[in-house]
Chains A and B, each alone.
Chain A
């Protein structure tokens, strides 16, 4: 047996012993998703238990270094852990912007004190993070952001407004882009971290077309942020921001995957439309559209696997996350369009019990943001054209 075989059998046995059976059932609603944080109320004792055992082992973030609370696993071991978790349908113990976005940026740009302070709490799900990037007048042109951080000796005084701050009303800390120099654009931005309970921070949820409010407006009114909370040099925050956006794109691009067993497109359409005598969906044109969609969806699942493998081996083009983000989000929108067409009037119900409170329609509307948030599809295409295809003047 190779070391990896041993690791696989040990992992399998450990998961068998430590993953509660309740945590192997499909995620049914938002309550089943664990985001951790100071205000986290577990929906079941098992959810808390699963977070705790995985967090202690560092397996909520298996490939981070052990010294910062991570699992310290190699890329091959990480892949095995994911495979073994998938094999028993284990839920992800923790969803976290700290894992997918801030953590990688801290590992690259944070100082030792910052890493030791923040990374272990991310691993254990103790602190929930939100991202302060977009502003009312800085969307696709993010570097034009205006939230100011004025030098006041050992701290900055932050004033301004962020928008599209995901779950700001539930987050404990924010990683935030602020302007420390008004005379240049990208070169005048700094990256700071602060507690959302500081005086002068307030949030206001934004009601979306889906009827949900996952995003907030976030206001800063003379917020005092210690300078030691700045990541990387003053006015070098744009480097951190770009690096972090790459990780955000990876996360969003993963949404096109359909996450294995959760694909409801086919069963939904079959239930609403039925099959003809030959066993084919009794709507030949929709069936064709679904079948051609599935070609792309399955091919993209292979692409996601390839991308992760290449990323771990350092072989991925640095701008490849833009391609993943573009393709994955457009695909996800297509999926939900087909899902709505497949469901017919059943899928239109907005609050019914049968639709679990209008889940299909609300999810469909939610996907429209996929190709806007984290850099629009058009911005991704610009990046691909410039950095991968090296087209002129792009």
Chain B
């Protein structure tokens, strides 16, 4: 398969680019923030996503979805990134859908997700830096399990219908195995949620599980075998976050290059200065390389290749680095105006920071590559 979008994917990209650009441009995020919206996204927009079919992009056609792959999901996410559109698409339509795939939970939750009525949140992280660590305990209690522990950085948890929770049913916190994944309704008793607004105006929650009781059928897959659906979730989530980062970095670069062509100082367009030309050209190169890494990871995921795991880490680390460069260069090259809230470039910087942290930053994924390579 060639490493570029095929004709169908390009057509999809045109559709999505128009749709997101018209319905959720950066001004949409700005207006939600300015009215201190506490949902974190527009439910109307999420409904529109459903009408377009995007919510079911990874759901099989037999289950009412589009039956497409990670390349197509990434096409959507890149436009979400380029427009900084707040959306539960990544957590719900990508990561949660992948985690539930092939389990009875798919039948239970997919219809609501496809209809744009259900929002899912992912309770994975327990420490401020993402780690391969699950300490939240799930003990057998009666016919089900009792969950005790804390999660954080759970985007959309305060408004979600479904929580996917990684819990420990055997072994120690750092063990790769002994994890069980649960589908937990967000209105469960003894579950405390403290929603916090983040730098990019998105809302993520700290969750406190104080002996939350769930039925045995809340288990996703098998008990103690949650590694498999969790890895599925993380691969999809990380790849999706990479695609969104690509959009954020690409959007910031486009703004910046545009600015270089209109801003005059010392009687010349600042884009005429070689000092800035070289930096812009270097940035372009980094973004191009990042784009290739993302598409490679998406294609390998879609092919079910065992090389996907590495490619996903490469994509997440590379897009985090390239996009961080893009937003930093963006603000610097905009000069003083780049520091003002009135200009959009700062929004790109904030979103890039949040997405870089999500499910492992560049250092986390570089470390993973090193371990896999035997050093």
Contacts and interface: CB of A to CB of B under 8 A. Distances in A.
Nearest to B313: A295
B340 interface: no
Given A305-B3, A305-B296, A384-B281, A298 B271 contact: no
A305 B293 CA distance: 10
B285 A306 contact: no
B97 interface: no
Nearest to B2: A309
Contacts of A291: 366-367, 369-370
Given A291-B366, A381-B282, A313 B4 contact: yes
Given A310-B4, A392-B269, A287 B370 contact: yes
Nearest to B271: A391
A309 B2 CA distance: 6
Contacts of B284: 323, 384, 388-389
Interface stretch (B66-74, B177-185, B204-212, B272-280): B272-280
B292 A303 contact: yes
A312 B318 CA distance: 25
B295 A381 contact: no
A272 to B, nearest CB: 12
B252 interface: no
A171 interface: no
Mostly, the B contact residues are helix
B212 to A, nearest CB: 35
Given A281-B375, A295-B321, A391-B260, A306 B3 contact: yes
A327 B371 CA distance: 26
A291 B375 CA distance: 9
A69 B373 CA distance: 42
Interface string A122-149: 0000000000000000000000000000
Contacts of B296: 302, 305-306
A116 interface: no
Interface in A356-394: 378, 380-382, 384-386, 388-394
A251 to B, nearest CB: 18
Nearest to B369: A294
Contacts, number: 150
Given A299-B318, A385-B280, A392-B261, A287 B289 contact: no
A275 interface: yes
B362 interface: yes
A296 interface: yes
A22 B24 CA distance: 61
A323 B362 CA distance: 23
Contacts of A327: 285, 288-289
Contacts of A298: 293, 310-311, 314, 369
Given A292-B366, A302-B295, A381 B281 contact: yes
Interface string B23-40: 000000000000000000
B365 interface: yes
Given A381-B282, A391-B260, A394-B277, A287 B369 contact: no
B281 A389 contact: yes
B163 interface: no
B113 to A, nearest CB: 31
B257 interface: yes
A280 interface: yes
A294 B370 CA distance: 8
A306 B311 CA distance: 14
B374 interface: yes
A306 B318 CA distance: 16
A269 B260 CA distance: 43
Contacts of A393: 268-269, 271-272
A390 B258 CA distance: 10
Given A290-B375, A323-B288, A392 B272 contact: yes
B257 A299 contact: no
A389 B4 contact: no
Contact of B2 (A281, A302, A313, A323): A313
B317 interface: yes
Among B289, B313, B314, the most chain A Cβ lie within 10 Å of the Cβ of: B289
B375 A323 contact: no
Contacts of B261: 390-392
B370 A303 contact: no
A288 interface: yes
A262 interface: no
A292 B288 contact: no
A213 B292 CA distance: 36
Contact of A391 (B272, B310, B374): B272
B157 interface: no
A394 B269 CA distance: 11
Given A290-B370, A303-B292, A309-B2, A296 B285 contact: no
A315 interface: yes
A288 B375 CA distance: 10
Contacts of B282: 326, 381
B80 interface: no
Interface in B319-375: 321, 362-363, 365-367, 369-371, 373-375
Contacts of A280: 370-371, 375
B295 A294 contact: no
B245 to A, nearest CB: 13
A97 interface: no
B333 to A, nearest CB: 11
A266 interface: yes
A85 interface: no
Contacts of A384: 281, 284-285
B278 A295 contact: no
A393 B362 CA distance: 36
9 contacts: A292-B366, A294-B370, A298-B293, A298-B369, A299-B290, A299-B315, A302-B293, A382-B274, A392-B269
Given A295-B366, A298-B293, A302-B311, 17 more contacts: A266-B373, A269-B375, A270-B374, A288-B363, A292-B363, A294-B366, A298-B310, A299-B314, A302-B314, A306-B3, A307-B292, A381-B278, A382-B277, A388-B281, A389-B280, A391-B280, A394-B272
Closest 8 CB pairs of A and B: A385-B277, A384-B281, A291-B366, A299-B293, A303-B292, A302-B296, A393-B272, A306-B3
